[in-house]
Amino acid sequence: MAPVAADELATLAGLLADRSRARFLLALMDGRAWTAGELATEAGVAPSTASEHLTRLVDGGLLVERRQGRHRYVQLAGPDQARLLEGLLAYLGPAKPANTLRAVTADQSLRQGRTCYDHLAGRLGVAITDTMTDCGLLTDSCAVTDEGLAWFAGLGFRPTARRAPARACLDWTERRSHLAGAAGAYLCAHLLERGWVRGVGSGRAVRLTPAGEEGLRDLLGVPTP
């Protein structure tokens, strides 16, 4: 068992040990499907180079792909792959300070609020999680309480056997947990659908809208992070 596990770990490390592939994976943390061309532009590599890298990531199980017409779309294989990447980012520690105005602005937006695959992260995600814990909807380990299940049911959420209702995801900027799992994904989608949270630019950054600030105060008493 140990030699097999060692081989698999070495293979996974090899997939991550390339700057372009790493940039692809971080871009795909927004949970969307991207074309190979879009990712090539994001990483600053030739389309042919991007295609080779993406094939390795798909074969390695980190990404899944589908084709529509002549376009090749890829996205993270699932929440487990997103959790792996978020955990690695947290392990790396604080990032080097940005050295351009554009980079500083982008970094601040990500820290304020972002999507982590399909749930909310950053100060916004942690603030919501903390408040839900204080209200008794979540335990300290981000498990949904009976009261929390009733609260989520009021929003229309119904747990299924296909995915854990909730789990803690270590936030790589806040160094604390935010809510993930099926409940976290549902809450994120619910807030986006209501227009309480909106994307900032074309990346993962999100922000609370004025309606969201009022709505979350009424719903949970969440202070603006």
pLDDT of residue 209: 94
What digits encode the pLDDT tens for the residues 190-217?
999 999 999 887 678 999 999 999 998 8
The pTM score is 0.72
Give 64's DSSP letter: E
Low-confidence stretches of the chain (pLDDT < 50) are 1
What is the domain partition of the chain in residue ranges?
2-77, 81-219
Long-range contacts of 166-171 (CB under 8 A, 24+ apart): 166/138, 166/142, 167/142, 167/143, 168/141, 168/142, 169/83, 169/86, 169/116, 169/119, 169/121, 169/142, 170/86, 170/87, 170/90, 171/86, 171/90, 171/116, 171/121, 171/122, 171/125, 171/126
Burial state string for 141-160 with b = 16 or more CB within 10 A and e = fewer than 16? ebebbeebbebbeeeebebe
Q: In CATH, what number does 2-77 get?
A: 1.10.10.10
pLDDT of residue 100: 61
